């Protein structure tokens, strides 16, 4: 009899351990849409995306929201990162046209149980502009299950309007209403380019909602040497965070980081600089230009589901 009881307890413990959440790396990244103007200034997509793909894989993103990516950009990333797939549609036609708010995820770690999209507007089921927005804005969502532990959660990703003040506030209210109306109370992650800093009313609507909290505010450890927008400038600094990751109270945030990674592009005609006495003789240096992979820095958090 004791053996049976011990066996049942053992199976219960194993089952509990399997269901317990494991840390996962979550991020948000505005990719910057591909355009000729950026290319003319040396910030073309073809030059940038290999570094974006390497950055994502090096830092070990498990699941992350993207903003501004056009279909061909998302496909480029998918090819460069074979361990990932994505969900999301274009905001202009509900298919492939226009910018996406796509969610990338590791296919070996997660399976998509359900997914969908809605526009940030009073009319949510088809392309249109909401309130005082100057562009149509879309939110992509997915219901994901961790293949190993069974942990199931909802992930929302959006890009709020960059001009419409009312549109941003109403978009925040819309997201909260969507979460409140969920038929089952699952953990929720909300990522995006909100185009508002931590001092704005739209931000406060979310962070003080009693439903979501900014991961920055509740993180055990923070690495934030800059704000999240850089405008392709490596010599500028801001304290404003406009790219955010909000969470329901189902997660512990172990780490929060704004990743200010840069790369170097060659300056044509640059000559090797003269060595000075402080250089080891093996070192030679050439003048290159520091560049950022996007006009936004990615934001990464390490979270652990609460038991």
Q: How far apart are CA 149 and CA 169, in angstroms?
A: 36
Q: Domains plus CATH for the chain?
A: 21-267+281-305 (3.60.10.10)
Q: Which pair of structure tokens corresponds to residue 210?
A: 């009693």
pLDDT at 39 over 80: yes
CA distance 7 to 15: 12
CA dist., res. 100 & res. 139, Å (int): 9
In the prediction, which pLDDT does 270 show? 65
Query: What is the token pair recorded at 73?
Result: 């950009």
pLDDT band at 62 (very low <50, low <70, confident <90, very high): very high
Nearest residue to 49 via CA among 28, 26, 31: 31
Query: What does the DSSP 8-state code read for residue 263?
Result: E
- Over pLDDT 70: what percentage of the chain? 90
Query: What confidence score (pLDDT) does residue 14 get?
Result: 43
- What pLDDT score was predicted for residue 50? 98
Average model confidence (pLDDT) for the chain? Answer: 93
Task: Using the predicted structure, report yes or no on whether residue 82 has a pLDDT greater than 80.
Answer: yes
State how far Cα 214 lies from the chain centre: 13
Q: Is 72 helix (H, G, I), strand (E, B) or coil?
A: helix
pLDDT given for residue 286 in this prediction? 84
Q: What is the pLDDT of residues 212-247, one digit of tens each?
A: 999 999 999 999 999 999 999 999 999 999 999 999
Token pair, residue 274, equals 């003269």
pLDDT at residue number 21:
67
pLDDT at 4 over 70: no
Give residue-wise pLDDT tens across range 83-109: 999 999 999 999 999 999 999 999 999
* pLDDT for 26: 99
Q: What is the pLDDT of residues 10-27, one digit of tens each?
A: 544 444 444 456 999 999
Give pLDDT, residue 3: 55
Predicted model pTM: 0.92
Residue 9, pLDDT > 50, answer no
Phi, psi dihedrals of residue 205, rounded to the nearest 5°: -60, -40
Question: Quick one: average pLDDT of 135-154?
Answer: 98
pLDDT of residue 135: 98
Reply yes or no on whether the pLDDT at 271 is more than 70: no
Q: In this predicted model, what pLDDT tens digit does every residue of 105-128 receive, in sequence order?
A: 999 999 999 999 999 999 999 999
Nearest CA-CA partner of 201 in 244, 158, 162, 170: 170
pLDDT at 158 over 60: yes
Say whether pLDDT at 264 is over 90: yes
Give residue 18's pLDDT: 45
């Amino acid at each position: 009899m004791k053996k049976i009881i011990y066996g049942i307890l053992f199976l219960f413990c194993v089952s509990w351990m399997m269901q317990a959440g494991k840390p996962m790396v979550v991020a948000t990244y505005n990719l910057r849409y591909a355009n000729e103007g950026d290319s003319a200034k040396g910030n073309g997509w073809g030059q940038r995306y290999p570094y974006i793909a390497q950055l994502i894989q090096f830092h070990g993103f498990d699941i992350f929201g993207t903003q501004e990516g056009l279909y061909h950009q998302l496909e480029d990333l998918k090819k460069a990162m074979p361990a990932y797939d994505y969900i999301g549609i274009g905001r202009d036609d509900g298919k492939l046209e226009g910018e996406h708010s796509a969610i990338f995820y590791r296919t070996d770690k997660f399976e998509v149980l359900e997914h969908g999209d809605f526009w940030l507007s009073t009319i949510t089921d088809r392309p249109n502009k909401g309130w005082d927005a100057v562009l149509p804005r879309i939110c992509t969502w997915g219901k994901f299950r961790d293949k190993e532990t069974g942990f199931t959660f909802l992930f929302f990703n959006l890009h709020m309007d960059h001009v419409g003040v009312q549109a941003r506030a109403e978009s925040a209210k819309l997201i909260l209403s969507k979460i409140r109306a969920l038929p089952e109370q699952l953990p929720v992650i909300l990522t995006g380019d909100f185009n508002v800093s931590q001092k704005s009313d739209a931000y406060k609507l979310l962070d003080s909602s009693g439903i979501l909290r900014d991961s920055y505010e509740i993180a055990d450890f923070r690495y934030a040497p800059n704000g999240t927008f850089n405008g392709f400038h490596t010599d500028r600094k801001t304290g404003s965070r406009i790219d955010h990751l909000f969470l329901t109270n189902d997660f512990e945030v172990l780490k929060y980081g704004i990743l200010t990674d840069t790369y170097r592009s060659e300056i044509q005609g640059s000559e090797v600089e003269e060595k000075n006495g402080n250089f080891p003789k093996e070192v030679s240096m050439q003048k290159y230009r520091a560049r950022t992979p996007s006009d936004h820095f990615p934001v990464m958090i390490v979270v652990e589901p609460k038991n």
